[in-house]
Amino acid sequence: MNTSLPRLYSFRRCPYAMRARLGLMFAELPLELREITLKNKPDQMLAISPKGTVPVLQLADGTVIEESAEIMMWALEQNDPQGLLDEKISSEANALIAQNDNEFKQWLDRYKYADRHPEMTQIEYRQKGEIFLQYLEALLTKNTYLLDNSVTVADIGIMPFVRQFAHVDRDVFYSLPYPKLQMWLQHWLENPLFVQAMTKFQPWQEGDEVVIFPC
């Protein structure tokens, strides 16, 4: 079965893929979902995106978008019923997402896989990552969400990475002095859209029935 919908190659637990799915869901854009496994990437995905990372979005006209932040922005530029791309905070949102991607993510990876990076201890890597968490905590003392009292693209662009940081050691994370951030994360973990975004699907194989997402 062929569809005229955008086709998303995704991996459920990848934070980049999470934020792409959230962006598409907030934009209320249905798509064809192809869940993959990182150890057995389908040839169809590699043919359109040889770098082999998720997410990858292929539009009906063949256009391929390979970066998760670009997928979020593309989706919300098509339809943004909740106003996540508020022009008043767009530069702040872009800067915050860039700080997440370029600084926080490297400490997150080292914290999560400290045994692969023996230059510092896991605690030291966590403390490096906490510099960004402290900044988020300060933002959340001013607003319900990171940059406003309603959801913006900054929230969905950053939350999956904070979630991953927290899940390295949940007991440690919830013992840290960031109550606003902890409440914000818990709110997101219970958000029906996020719960739906984390629906489990079997890895896609050629010949499978098309999975329309959200279901």
Query: DSSP for the chain?
Result: ---SS-EEEE-TT-HHHHHHHHHHHHTT--EEEEE--TTS--HHHHHH-TT--S-EEE-TTS-EE--HHHHHHHHHHH--TT--S-GGGHHHHHHHHHHIIIIIHHHHHHHHTGGG-TTS-HHHHHHHHHHHHHHHHHHHTTSSSSSSSS--HHHHHHHHHHHHHHHH-HHHHHHSS-HHHHHHHHHHHH-HHHHHHT---PPP-TTPPPEEE--
pLDDT of residue 1: 45
Size of the chain in residues: 215
Same domain, 76 and 112: no
Distance CA 122, CA 128 (A): 10
Residues 130 and 163 in one domain: yes
List average pLDDT for each run of 10 residues in the chain, which is 215 residues long: 83 98 97 96 96 97 97 98 95 98 98 97 98 98 97 98 98 98 98 96 95 91
For residues 98 and 31, membership in a common domain is answered with no
- Residues 99, 139, single domain; the answer is yes
pTM score of the predicted model: 0.96
The β-bridge partners of 8 are 33, 57
* 184 and 94 together in one domain: yes
Is the domain of 30 the same as that of 109?
no
Give pLDDT tens digits for 62-80: 999 999 999 999 999 999 9
Q: Cα–Cα distance between 163 and 124 in angstroms, integer?
A: 19
Do 185 and 119 sit in the same domain of this protein? yes
- Shared domain for 133 and 208, answered yes or no, is no
**CATH code of the domain containing 187:** 1.20.1050.10
Q: Strand 64-65 relative to strand 56-58: parallel, antiparallel, unpaired?
A: antiparallel
CA distance 32 to 41: 17
Same domain (yes/no): 185, 123: yes
Residue 105 lies in a domain: yes
> Which residue segment(s) compose the domain that 139 sits in?
87-194
Neighbours of 53 (CB within 10 A): 17
Our count of domains for the chain comes to 2
Residue 61, in any domain of the structure = yes
Encode pLDDT of 131-172 as tens digits. 999 999 999 999 999 999 999 999 999 999 999 999 999 999
The rounded distance, in Å, linking the Cα atoms of 191 and 138 is 22
Q: Does 96 map to a domain?
A: yes
- Find out whether 6 and 28 touch, Cβ atoms under 8 Å: no
* Sign (positive or negative) of CA dihedral 101, 45, 56, 15: negative
